[in-house]
Structure 1
Amino acid sequence: MDNKSQKDSLKPFISLIISTKIPKLALTLGLIGSLINTLFGLTIPLLTKEMVDGFSVEAISITLIITIGVVFILKAIIQGFATYSLAYVGQKIVAKLRQMMVFKLIRLPVSYFDRKTSGESVSRVVNDTGIVKDLISQHFPQFITGIISIIGAVTILLFMDWKMTLLMLISVPITFAIMIPLGRKMRKIARGLQDETANFSGKIQQTISEIRLMKASNAEIMEERKGMHGIGNLLTFGLKESKILAVIGPLMQLVIMVVIVIIIGYGGIRVAEGTMSTGSLVAFLLYLFQIIMPITAFTMFFTQLQKAKGATERIIDILDLDAEEGQEGLEMDITNQSIHVENVSFGYSEEEPVIRNVSFEVQPGSMVAFAGPSGGGKTTMFGLIERFYEPTSGQVLIGQTPIKKLTLSSWRSQIGYVSQDSPMIAGTIRENLSYGLEDTVDDARLWEVAKMAYADQFIEDFPMKLETEVGERGVKLSGGQKQRIAIARAFLRDPKILMMDEATASLDSQSEGIVQQALTRLMEGRTTFVIAHRLSTIVNADKIIFIEKGEITGIGTHKELVHSHPLYREFAEQQLT
């Protein structure tokens, strides 16, 4: 099957919907209710015919009026039941789709998010799944009931008067001739609109998440231009969609009005000649609406179907991605285990290697520092040890076991990470301290780790204590406060391995002193990796690994490297003298 056939195929869409485990009972009841509702609708013109043909004050049939009233009431009740049942099916399907996508997204490797904006991913979860929901809960039921309505109405009309029926059915091919090419254009527009919506969402989310950078950089006007460009693109697609809808509406009304005029004109002649009753003419007009109106709904169904197929492609693209390796594997206690990095190479792309054939060994409980020029690969080494990325060649072992044989949860639960920016979630101090821990942590333990990180005093000063809201990314806290909460979070996990990306580099001297004390306490008895931006923080490290352009050019203590490594000596002279 070629690419075009695959894109036009409904198979991926149907397979995706089936994978959500459709609530079959609700779907069946909804469709049966829709069928019964449609059949009731088909009886109304016939009852109206009887009433019109026998219409006089003396001949009013109470039974007929009661029958029509009962039909209307039952039709309304069944329609409400069927509408809710099918809406329930649509909501359950979209909830399952969103669950599948959220579960997949949070298990995708970091490399995926290096390539995609968070706003685009959010748009796929919210907007694209919403399109699928609308198709299933609204347009699909209308399509099914429309088919039943048309088949039933045409069948009854052929028995009533086949000549008038054939005259009326001339409108059907005319309608399809108008709708099919317009539907194809709508499909292209809908796909473009979905992509542009995802792109726009990503840019807006990025701007809002970095609002301080934007304001500090006086970038409001630049962001306004970007926003206007995105809004302009959305407006262009929206206007194209509106043009097609503006053509469809009047054309459909024109076709309907022409057919009504023809039926009334021809039917009036037949009534005058006595070959057709007035009630039959009224019934014909009512059935005409039961044929023409579903055809209009078909147009919306096929338009929405094209949107849903486009959304499905993007949903499937995400669901088909491979999750991080390491969801299954060994559960292992790494206490007192040495770490061996053997001939590791890595690149974010094949053309750009970042780490080249790196090897070193770390004894348990020792402190190892990575030093070297910016861009040399220090942070990438952290990412490889943390298993945010997998080496393109070589391996990292804990004891004699490659770390990739351990489950990610087992490995990462034994690593504490304290970075410069100390990431925070929007929530309370309590939620930030215990983030990621499934078991509830009592207050005594939280205050204990806060004290160990010298964070207890400033937390006590807040009126809400542990329930204090920190704001998005911790904006309500100072840099030193965030760092101490991050250190307390690490204490709470009691990690075997500690990783620090120069955690005091951006602090003032007073905060730095407090945070450094907390870090020294945290490092005791743990294997510690440090990225050094200032050599003063690592002069006492057990081992310093100097990395340049992805390669290790020196390993040793501070004293050894000062004697043996010219560039390290130059760094030391600049910073320490």
Structure 2
Amino acid sequence: MTTIPNKPESPSGKPGSWRPFLGLIRSARPSTGLLSLALGLSVLTAAGGLIVPQVTRSLVDGFSLSSLHAGQIALIACLFLASAAASGLSIFLLNRIGQQVLYRLRDRLWKKMLVLPVAHYDRVKSAELVSRMTNDTGIVKNLISEHLSTLVSGSLSIVGSLILLFALDWRMTSVLLVAVPLAVAVMVPMGMQMSRISRSTQDETAGWTATLSQVLSENRLVKSSGAEPLEYEHGREGMFRLLKLGIKEGRVQAFVTPLMTIVIMMLLAVVVGYGGMRVSSGAMTTGGLVAFVLYLMQLIAPLTQLTQFFTQFQKAVGATGRIVETLAAPEEDHETGSAVPGEIRPIRLDRISFGYGAGSDVLKDVSFEVPCGKVTALVGPSGSGKTTLFSLLERYYEPSQGALRYGDENASAFSLASWRGQIGYVQQESPLISGTIRDNIVYGLDRPVSDEELSRAAAMANAESFILSFDDGYGTQVGERGLKLSGGQRQRIGIARALLRDPRILLLDEATSSLDSQSEAAVQEALANLMKGRTTIVIAHRLSTVVDADQIVFLDKGAVTGIGTHEELAKNHELYRQFAVSQLRYEDERQTVIL
């Protein structure tokens, strides 16, 4: 049941490419004014940090109780307060910008996901798309909210600290810079390895999340199949891979953190030792040495922060690749095309062929006409293409050859919104959303529905009696996917939904095949009300329900092998006759046993 998705690549084909990331951020339209203000405040914060050592130097060199006055103390206090206020406001503004970017990215993704064709969901797990909507967009947001100011203020602190260190004592600064190539030689490979581990962890987490989502949403299947041990192993394998990646990350950090501590301690020892000699010789003041140490600390801390920024940036680039890949996927165009004309026309399938992907065709040169206001039944062995034909009628897919026509016009000339608005689809097990019964009956309608209209549709669907038997009536919660209702009740709510849409064309995937006799009778009566005056196409799983159809189309291995009434096919079509004899005999025996 569970599979781990393949790791996606960035659309550019180059993992780690930053151009798609910048393009995605621009498309989210962050406020340039707020962004400039936030980064400007980060610059002021960094500049304030560079001033503090100079003030400290002046205080240390000229310190005496008589020289210390209220103005100096107030100036230092104001400097610290202004720096803190600028830092706090910058953090708030960047967080706000990050939240706005997050909202707009999720808004684009959600809108895109709703118009992706069914074929896309055949290839990509819905749980993976959920991960892109939640995890990947969150990573992009975190880069902006928590790490962007580091890039600006950290860079300024590093450059400013270096300049001021050279100004204070270029000889001692030159000695310190000898350690930089050594630190870079060690830190850059470690940083690259940490980035690879982070991207792997990100991909593995997405796959594991997809597995969890799938198993938990199908928990009844898991339990009824006794698959708890199997799914536990699948989940444990994902957790174990995450454990190994976490240990790798810990191993790198265990090397980097002590190394950085050693480097910092050595630099401080060199500064204090060599600086003490310089102070003793009179080449440097005590205040200058204190300022030098403070600038050194302001140089080291931003370097660590910048390392974290680039690690997070690599994560964001990886997340961007998946987001851009989804946004670039082909989508359904619901609006292009004309409205379906007012007069009722026959539906014609004109030499249609279709196959999923690169496999062999499921439908092969299928041609027949569905007359207006009549009942056409699709009959045939399992796998003959009946459900695929319904998918083409709904225009979930386009034929690879041939055309679906409404009258003489190609159905593709009509907008998807208009075409699907003419169709009512009642499936074998009508899907329900989590919510109330009323929510499910009016689902998808863009107009208000009165209580009288709702009651009339429910009554015609033979559903009002059981709805009103609930304490909350139409406000009764149906549970996830309608699991609080019986199969017959779900079917009748689906029929009431179709009645409210008042469709011209009905697609019925024999809605009574899995019901008990009492529920079947109620649903059959509701279907009879629904089918009056409408063009109806039925997938027949039991011939006894369609022997009275105006037309029966027999499908075998994706091809039409016979068209006619029940009597005509029973007389002239050998396979249909065998099919009818075996099925009708079985159903008679089954009915006898029940009675």
- Please state if 1:30 is matched with 2:38: yes
Of stretches 179-188 and 551-560 in structure 1, the one that deviates more from structure 2 is 179-188
Match of 1:439 in 2: 447
| Residue 338 (structure 1) aligned to one of 322, 325, 346 | 346
Match of 1:207 in 2: 215
Q: How big is each residue's C-alpha offset from its partner over 1:267-299, in whole Å with a ceiling of 9 and x where there is no partner?
A: 111122222111111111111111111110111
Check 1:85–1:121 CA distance in 2 against 1; reply closer, same or farther (3 A cut).
same
- Please state if 1:216 is matched with 2:220: no
The one-letter amino acid of 1:548's match is D
> Considering only aligned residues, what root-mean-square deviation do their CA atoms show, in Å?
1.6
The answer (yes or no) to whether the contact 2:137–2:319 under 8 Å persists in 1 is yes
The separation in 2 between residues aligned to 1:488 and 1:337, in whole angstroms, is 25
The answer (yes or no) to whether the contact 1:26–1:88 under 8 Å persists in 2 is no
TM-score of the superposed pair, with normalisation by structure 1: 0.97
The answer (yes or no) to whether the contact 1:200–1:230 under 8 Å persists in 2 is yes
The one-letter amino acid of 1:243's match is R
The one-letter amino acid of 1:210's match is E
Query: Counterparts in 2 of 1:264-275, with a 5 A limit?
Result: 264-275=272-283
Match of 1:423 in 2: 431
Of stretches 234-243 and 473-482 in structure 1, the one that deviates more from structure 2 is 234-243
Q: How big is each residue's C-alpha offset from its partner over 1:534-576, in whole Å with a ceiling of 9 and x where there is no partner?
A: 0011011111111111001111111111001111111111122
Query: Counterparts in 2 of 1:109-124, with a 5 A limit?
Result: 109-124=117-132
The answer (yes or no) to whether the contact 2:495–2:526 under 8 Å persists in 1 is yes
The one-letter amino acid of 1:463's match is D
* 3-state SS of 2:15 partner: helix
The one-letter amino acid of 2:301's match is M
The separation in 2 between residues aligned to 1:391 and 1:325, in whole angstroms, is 16
Match of 2:362 in 1: 354
- Please state if 1:51 is matched with 2:56: no
Query: Identity of counterpart residues, as a percentage?
Result: 48
Show structure 2 runs of 5+ residues with no match: 1-9, 586-595
The separation in 1 between residues aligned to 2:21 and 2:122, in whole angstroms, is 28
| Residue 536 (structure 1) aligned to one of 513, 537, 544 | 544
Match of 1:489 in 2: 497
Query: How many equivalent pairs are there?
Result: 576
The answer (yes or no) to whether the contact 1:47–1:64 under 8 Å persists in 2 is no
Query: Counterparts in 2 of 1:321-336, with a 5 A limit?
Result: 321-333=329-341, 335-336=343-344
Match of 2:5 in 1: none
| Residue 129 (structure 1) aligned to one of 133, 137, 146 | 137
Match of 1:569 in 2: 577
Match of 2:371 in 1: 363
- Please state if 1:227 is matched with 2:223: no
Structure 1 residue ranges (4+ consecutive) displaced by more than 4 angstroms after TM superposition? 2-5
Show structure 1 runs of 5+ residues with no match: none
The one-letter amino acid of 1:148's match is L
The answer (yes or no) to whether the contact 2:11–2:324 under 8 Å persists in 1 is no
The separation in 2 between residues aligned to 1:243 and 1:104, in whole angstroms, is 40
- Please state if 1:377 is matched with 2:397: no
Cα deviation, residue 239, structure 1: 2.1
The answer (yes or no) to whether the contact 1:343–1:395 under 8 Å persists in 2 is yes
* 3-state SS of 1:439 partner: coil
- Please state if 1:81 is matched with 2:89: yes
Query: Counterparts in 2 of 1:381-392, with a 5 A limit?
Result: 381-392=389-400
- Please state if 1:263 is matched with 2:271: yes
The separation in 1 between residues aligned to 2:431 and 2:212, in whole angstroms, is 21
| Residue 245 (structure 1) aligned to one of 229, 236, 253 | 253
The answer (yes or no) to whether the contact 2:380–2:555 under 8 Å persists in 1 is yes
* 3-state SS of 2:330 partner: coil
The separation in 2 between residues aligned to 1:3 and 1:337, in whole angstroms, is 45
Match of 2:593 in 1: none
Match of 1:175 in 2: 183
The one-letter amino acid of 1:271's match is V
The answer (yes or no) to whether the contact 2:11–2:321 under 8 Å persists in 1 is no
The answer (yes or no) to whether the contact 1:499–1:529 under 8 Å persists in 2 is yes
The separation in 2 between residues aligned to 1:445 and 1:254, in whole angstroms, is 78
| Residue 550 (structure 1) aligned to one of 558, 561, 567 | 558
Match of 2:80 in 1: 72
Query: Counterparts in 2 of 1:155-166, with a 5 A limit?
Result: 155-166=163-174
The answer (yes or no) to whether the contact 1:342–1:396 under 8 Å persists in 2 is yes
The separation in 2 between residues aligned to 1:471 and 1:349, in whole angstroms, is 36
